[in-house]
Amino acid sequence: MSEVTFDLVEATGRVCKRPNFGWDFMALDSVDSTNNYTKEHCGDWLKPTLVMTKHQTAGRGRNKNKWDDEGEGKSFLSTWCLELMEGPADPRWTLGIGLYLFESMTEAFKPVRFSLKEPNDIFVGDKKVGGILVEATSQGELHYLHVGVGINVFSYPTDHLQTATHLNSYLGAAGLTPESWMQFIDFFGGRLLHFEKKAVSAENGWLQRLSNRLADAMNRHPSHVDNPVQKVQGDGTLVLERGEINWKQL
């Protein structure tokens, strides 16, 4: 495991303090789950809010999987919470948000060859470095999206030695800096802040508009070496060289 060379919370908060960034910021030392926290408090916030913690006692991934962390600020544990203006969330949005995370990490950390393992896990080679848990809640006519993002930055849980990795093992102190991290936060926060309008206004479907980018990102993952993704349909179906995968099966 590598040394923590800068404070993730402090660097993330600096981006959120920029007047044109668009996200409020809340930092917690520890919480059961940042998604649980934003579900409880989203009605109290007047603008999109990024909640970050140094440790989760009951972190969650997709399909009721646990998300473990080493604590001590070694991982990026966060939920990006925003009110939706156009009605309830579409669960298929998770594919496009996963692409945004992949593209933001690729732009900020150029030496690393990331891939997107559908629908929204980020890998380097055959090892997972990050992932997303997208959930939605409603309070009467108000609808909220909770985008949980977990990234192994300086460490990964030793129990996942065979399946996980972390950013610093590829970048080192010269490539993983406060500046490159802040670039990532800026890229992803900007994309996420404005995605709803793009998602609901796309004439032929948002995912279809993203099809080529999604296919390129997914085909970097080893699972598609022998059966690459050809396109992503508007309903979220992955069309492979041989066969199809319905988005509900992802």
Within a domain: residue 116?
Answer: yes
How far is 188 from 239, CA to CA, in rounded Å?
Answer: 27
Average pLDDT over residues 157-174: 86
Please state the pTM of the whole predicted model: 0.94
pLDDT in tens, 111-121: 999 999 999 99
Within a domain: residue 223?
Answer: no
Q: The tokens of 191 are what?
A: 């994309």
How far is 10 from 6, CA to CA, in rounded Å?
Answer: 8
Within a domain: residue 245?
Answer: no
Domain carrying residue 209: 8-213
Are 144 and 44 spatial neighbours (Cβ–Cβ below 8 Å)? no
Q: Is 1's pLDDT higher than 50?
A: no
Domain count along the chain: 1
Within a domain: residue 222?
Answer: no
Within a domain: residue 93?
Answer: yes
CATH number at residue 114: 3.30.930.10
pLDDT value at residue 56: 82
Instruction: Output the average pLDDT for the chain.
Output: 92
Within a domain: residue 233?
Answer: no
Within a domain: residue 219?
Answer: no
130-99-245 Cα angle (round to 5): 95
Q: Is 67's pLDDT higher than 60?
A: no
Residue 163 binned pLDDT confidence (cut-offs 50, 70, 90) = confident
Within a domain: residue 229?
Answer: no
pLDDT in tens, 68-103: 666 678 999 999 999 999 999 999 999 999 999 999
pLDDT value at residue 76: 95
Are 149 and 79 spatial neighbours (Cβ–Cβ below 8 Å)? yes
Q: Is 148's pLDDT higher than 90?
A: yes
Find the Cα–Cα–Cα–Cα dihedral 243, 119, 209, 110, rounded to 10°: -120
pLDDT value at residue 173: 86
Residue 202 binned pLDDT confidence (cut-offs 50, 70, 90) = confident
